[in-house]
């Protein structure tokens, strides 16, 4: 489960996916927390035969045309490598599958300002995806699968370029994800199967300014709060400067950096499936799920200050910035004299916090084949997202910290399939679907 910041979600090697299923409407009660679509991906497993794959994909600027704005061929490369290997650890009993994919994209950030001439910045992106899976069959009735996935994506000199930005606005965007998952299946009888799934998923990203104060501790501006990769401990994120906003031109770090945003989720799910005859065939699915969701953040939101001017940037602006990436050399008084600042904004306080949610779900689904022509899909699902709306946050005098949770999310799922003849089937149904809070909820 991942719910924050769609562009920072973990990715998986395409060569590790065996198949995937996309359900776009009227899915049954076993699936929830979405009202639009559901995607189920199945990862590959090893077999009794040792086998693997290798693939490569390459691009180069010698094969592309001129950029329309820059009127030149922009430097560009992209190299991707992917390998997989799977096979037996113990014939017929234990199998493994591993995959690794690496992408190197040495891109370029360009500037096309008509007043100032800035050199290009290298913007290399390095992405690593790794996965390992072991399947164990203890007996004909009992089996288990354990899987680990790792994702790393480092993007250099992100967030700048174009006509309206100074190179000092560049930042490093680092994305991380680790997932641990296990599934145990037990055949209880000739018509009953139980599956237990347990997982831990972590996902976070950092936005780290390239410019800073070289004379300050960790290159942070004097008196500015530190921002840690681990929110309350761990590596301190360096860099950060005041932002200076002229009409049509911006200098310095983005006002939302440095930043560390992440998630950590613990999940447990139990699915019991059984079948029996009673006025036709009944396929029954009953289950429950629990997710412990935490979202720790350390977000410097204008904590390094922001100057704003109604004027255009002065033509001699660069003379006030001997070192574009060392704000301790910037002459703010000189900038103010050349093009007066209108105001100054700064946020003061504690910029680290953690949101916590407890997510529960339960469901009952009956796919009833009444006859060879008619099948009824009868289901009901209940969802509870405890803490999703900040019910326990106290902020006197406005929030008491004792507000009730939204607890009436009972969702019926009804459907039918009727075979008119051997070439025509009529399907229909009704369902109530509750989606989850997303992004920066």
Closest CA to 213 of 330, 331, 347: 330
Closest CA to 406 of 439, 434, 364, 440: 434
Residue 167: per-residue pLDDT: 95
The band of 24, judged by pLDDT with boundaries at 50, 70 and 90, is confident
Is residue 2 predicted with pLDDT exceeding 50?
no
Q: What angle do CA 375, 377, 380 make, to 5 degrees?
A: 165
325 vs 209: CA distance, rounded Å: 9
220 vs 213: CA distance, rounded Å: 6
pLDDT, one tens digit per residue, over 270-322 is: 999 999 999 999 999 999 999 999 988 898 999 999 999 999 999 999 999 99
**Does residue 184 contact residue 199 with C-beta atoms inside 8 Å?**
no
Percent of the chain with pLDDT over 70: 97
Is residue 400 predicted with pLDDT exceeding 90?
no
Four-residue CA torsion sign, 303, 307, 310, 313: negative
The band of 1, judged by pLDDT with boundaries at 50, 70 and 90, is very low
Residue 232: per-residue pLDDT: 65
Report the chain's mean pLDDT, rounded to a whole number: 91
Is residue 440 predicted with pLDDT exceeding 60?
no
214 vs 159: CA distance, rounded Å: 21
* Coil vs helix vs strand at 334: helix
pLDDT, one tens digit per residue, over 231-265 is: 666 788 999 999 999 999 999 999 999 999 888 99
Query: How many residues are there in the chain?
Result: 441
Q: How far apart are the first and last CA of the chain?
A: 15
pLDDT, one tens digit per residue, over 406-433 is: 899 999 999 999 999 999 999 999 999 9
Four-residue CA torsion sign, 43, 175, 150, 271: negative
297 vs 228: CA distance, rounded Å: 9
The secondary structure of residue 335, as a DSSP letter, is H
Residue 214: per-residue pLDDT: 86
Distance between alpha carbon 38 and the CA centroid of its chain, in Å? Answer: 16
Q: Which two tokens stand for residue 370?
A: 């009444």
The band of 87, judged by pLDDT with boundaries at 50, 70 and 90, is very high
Q: Which two tokens stand for residue 317?
A: 């602006």
Q: What angle do CA 145, 56, 60 make, to 5 degrees?
A: 140
* Coil vs helix vs strand at 93: coil
**Does residue 127 contact residue 102 with C-beta atoms inside 8 Å?**
yes
pLDDT, one tens digit per residue, over 49-72 is: 999 999 999 988 888 898 888 788
DSSP per-residue codes, 185-220: EEEEETTEEEEEEEEEEEEEEEEEES-B-TTSGGGP
85 vs 96: CA distance, rounded Å: 8
277 phi-psi bin (left φ>0, alpha ψ -120 to 50, beta other): beta
Residue 6: per-residue pLDDT: 57
**Does residue 411 contact residue 383 with C-beta atoms inside 8 Å?**
yes
Mean pLDDT across 32-46: 87
The band of 159, judged by pLDDT with boundaries at 50, 70 and 90, is confident
Closest CA to 23 of 426, 413, 420, 422: 413
The secondary structure of residue 106, as a DSSP letter, is E
Mean pLDDT across 151-166: 93
Is residue 46 predicted with pLDDT exceeding 90?
yes
Is residue 134 predicted with pLDDT exceeding 80?
yes
The secondary structure of residue 234, as a DSSP letter, is S
Is residue 179 predicted with pLDDT exceeding 70?
yes
The secondary structure of residue 325, as a DSSP letter, is T
Is residue 105 predicted with pLDDT exceeding 70?
yes
Mean pLDDT across 3-21: 78
194 vs 147: CA distance, rounded Å: 19
Place of tokens 């932002």: 243
Is residue 367 predicted with pLDDT exceeding 80?
yes
């Amino acid at each position: 489960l991942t719910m924050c910041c769609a562009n920072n979600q973990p990715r998986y090697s395409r060569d590790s996916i065996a198949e995937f299923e996309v359900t776009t409407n009227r899915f049954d009660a076993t699936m929830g927390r979405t009202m639009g679509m559901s995607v189920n991906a199945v990862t590959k497993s090893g077999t009794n035969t040792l086998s693997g794959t290798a693939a490569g994909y390459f691009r180069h600027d010698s094969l592309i045309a001129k950029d329309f704005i820059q009127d030149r061929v922009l430097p560009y490369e992209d190299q991707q490598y992917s390998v997989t290997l799977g096979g037996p650890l113990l014939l017929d009993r234990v199998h493994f599958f591993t995959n690794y994919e690496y992408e190197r994209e040495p891109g370029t950030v360009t500037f096309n300002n008509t007043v100032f001439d800035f050199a290009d910045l290298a913007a290399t992106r390095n992405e690593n995806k790794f996965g390992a899976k072991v399947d164990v069959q203890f007996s004909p009735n009992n089996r288990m699968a354990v899987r680990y996935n790792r994702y790393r994506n480092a993007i250099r000199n992100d967030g700048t370029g174009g006509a309206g930005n100074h190179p000092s606005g560049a930042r490093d965007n680092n994305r991380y994800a680790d997932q641990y998952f296990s599934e145990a299946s037990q055949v209880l009888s000739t018509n009953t199967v139980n599956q237990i799934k347990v997982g831990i998923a972590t996902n976070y990203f950092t936005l780290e300014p390239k410019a800073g104060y070289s004379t300050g501790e960790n290159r942070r501006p004097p008196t500015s709060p530190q921002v840690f990769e681990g929110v309350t401990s761990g590596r301190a994120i360096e860099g950060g400067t005041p932002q200076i906003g002229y009409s049509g031109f911006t200098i310095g770090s983005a006002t939302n950096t440095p930043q560390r945003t992440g998630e950590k989720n613990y999940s447990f799910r139990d699915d019991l499936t059984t079948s029996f005859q009673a006025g036709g065939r009944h396929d029954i699915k009953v289950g429950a799920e629990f997710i412990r969701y935490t979202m720790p953040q350390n977000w410097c939101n204008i904590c390094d200050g922001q100057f704003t001017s109604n004027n255009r940037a002065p033509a001699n602006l660069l003379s006030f910035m001997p070192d574009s990436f060392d704000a301790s050399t910037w002459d703010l008084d000189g900038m103010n004299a050349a093009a007066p600042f209108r105001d100054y904004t700064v946020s003061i306080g504690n910029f680290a916090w953690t949101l916590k949610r407890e997510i529960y779900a339960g469901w009952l689904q009956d796919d009833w084949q009444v006859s060879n022509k008619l099948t009824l899909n009868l289901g009901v699902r209940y969802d509870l997202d405890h803490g999703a709306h900040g019910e326990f946050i106290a902020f006197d005098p406005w929030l008491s910290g004792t507000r009730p949770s939204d607890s009436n999310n009972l969702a019926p799922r009804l459907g039918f399939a009727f075979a008119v003849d051997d070439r025509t089937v009529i399907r229909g149904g009704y369902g109530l679907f509750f989606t989850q809070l997303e992004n920066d909820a």
